[in-house]
């Protein structure tokens, strides 16, 4: 269950609330008892892509970009072969 705080409390304790959100807690900020915003942690930064990581693990057939057989092409186009 998320912790709900009013705007005044959020202003006076913003730093602590940000730390709690960063630790995984969901904080709801309310005005006059009505929820107005949600303070949550940002998703973890994705690691940078490494060029060549899949080299030698993935291959593409020599006929990959050859035209499809007529019956398969017809099925993709939604017509009878």
Q: Give 62's pLDDT tier (boundaries 50, 70, 90).
A: very high
In terms of pLDDT, which residue wins out, 9 or 46? 9
Report the topology of domain 3-39.
YefM-like fold (3.40.1620)
- Confidence grade of residue 81 (pLDDT, cut at 50, 70, 90): low
- Please check whether residue 1 is in contact with residue 26, taking contact to mean a CB–CB distance below 8 angstroms: no
| Residue-range domain boundaries for the chain | 3-39
pTM: predicted TM-score of the whole model, two decimal places: 0.55
Q: 46-55 b/e with 16+ CB inside 10 Å = b?
A: eeeeeeeeee
One DSSP character per residue, 16-48 reads HHHHHHHTT--EEEEETTEEEEEE-PPPPPPPP
């Amino acid at each position: 269950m998320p912790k709900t705080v009013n705007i005044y409390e959020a202003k006076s304790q913003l730093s602590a609330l940000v730390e709690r959100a960063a630790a995984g807690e969901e904080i709801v900020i309310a005005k006059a008892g009505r929820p107005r915003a949600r303070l949550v942690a940002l998703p973890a930064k994705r690691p940078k892509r490494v060029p060549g990581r899949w080299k030698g693990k993935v291959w593409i057939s020599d006929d990959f970009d050859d035209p499809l057989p007529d019956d398969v092409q017809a099925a993709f186009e939604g017509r009878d072969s």
